[in-house]
A and B are shown apart, each in its own frame.
Chain A
Amino acid sequence: AAGVIQSPRHLIKEKRETATLKCYPIPRHDTVYWYQQGPGQDPQFLISFYEKMQSDKGSIPDRFSAQQFSDYHSELNMSSLELGDSALYFCASSLAAGGTDTQYFGPGTRLTVL
């Protein structure tokens, strides 16, 4: 079965640079979520989109923005990168109309800021 695809898998950036992370949800899923997991931490919710509209916002810095496109893929844009942004970034997708809240996660993008 098709899973959530994230690219790139690894990304190394310098401080103050920008980064773009991409997420391709499971086909026919209509909701995309972004989570950030720091070292030794649990995943923290950043932002979600339902049917291409921002649905909810968590602890996402103002330097970050995201959007969901017409083909349902999503991109997380991160500007003015800081050392503390180094983390695993997960995308998850779900089918809101499916009657359950089950989110399926991608493999993650490991961002390292030097």
Chain B
Amino acid sequence: DQQVKQNSPSLSVQEGRISILNCDYTNSMFDYFLWYKKYPAEGPTFLISISSIKDKNEDGRFTVFLNKSAKHLSLHIVPSQPGDSAVYFCAASKASGAGSYQLTFGKGTKLSVIP
């Protein structure tokens, strides 16, 4: 079963507008959430994260919101730029061994920012 879900496989947004990417999770043991950006044939690049004890984290144009009761998080990109076009993965983390925090990924959302 998919414990981390990104229900929108793709999203198109006009340059300068807001991009909102959504993610839902089912496992209450997840305590840390991350967003990664990925270009084809490259490794995921860390964007922003949020601990389960917070409901918002902001870094420049990127803001992540967490609603624990709804088991939902979202990534807001404002303003969107053409260089933001990529696949965005939501990932959730839980302690899984000594010093190890296994990541569970969603299927990704392909964002296209139209100039």
Do A and B come from the same complex?
yes
Q: Please, how many residues of chain B have a CB less than 8 angstroms from a CB on the other chain?
A: 26
State which residues 37-86 of B face A: CB under 8 Å: 41-46, 49, 51
Q: Does A100 make an interface contact (CB < 8 A)?
A: yes
Contact B99 A45 (CB under 8 A): no
Alpha-carbon distance between A44 and B104 when the two chains are bound, in angstroms: 7
Q: Which residues of chain B are within 8 angstroms of A104 by Cβ–Cβ distance?
A: 46
Query: B34, A102: Cβ atoms under 8 Å?
Result: yes
Is A110's CB within 8 Å of the partner chain B? yes
| Least distance between B30 CB and chain A CB atoms (Å) | 10
Using a CB-CB cutoff of 8 Å, which residues 12-70 of chain A contact chain B?
30-31, 33, 35, 41-45, 48-51, 53-56, 58
SS of B interface (majority) = strand
Question: Given the complex of chains A and B, what is the CA–CA distance between A94 and B93 in angstroms?
Answer: 13
Instruction: In the A-B complex, list the 6 residue pairs whose CB atoms are closest, starting with the nearest.
Output: A50-B99, A96-B99, A56-B97, A55-B97, A55-B100, A105-B43
Q: Which A residues fall within an 8 A CB radius of B?
A: 4, 6, 30-31, 33, 35, 41-45, 48-51, 53-56, 58, 88, 90, 92, 94, 96-97, 100-108, 110
Q: Are B43 and A50 in contact (CB under 8 A)?
A: no
Q: Are B100 and A102 in contact (CB under 8 A)?
A: no
Q: Are B105 and A43 touching (Cβ within 8 A)?
A: yes
Partner of A48, one of B32, B89, B97: B97
Q: A42-B89, A42-B105, A42-B107 are in contact. Are A106 and B100 (CB under 8 A)?
A: no
Q: Indicate if the CB atoms of A96 and B43 lie closer than 8 Å.
A: no
Q: Complex: how many Å from CA A90 to CA B44? A: 9
Contact of A42 among B43, B97, B98, B106 (CB under 8 A): B106
Residue numbers in A under 8 Å from B89 (CB-CB): 42-43
B91-109 CB mask vs A (1 if < 8 Å, else 0) is: 0010011111111111110
B100, A31: Cβ atoms closer than 8 Å: yes
Q: How far is the CB of A33 from chain B (nearest CB, A)?
A: 7
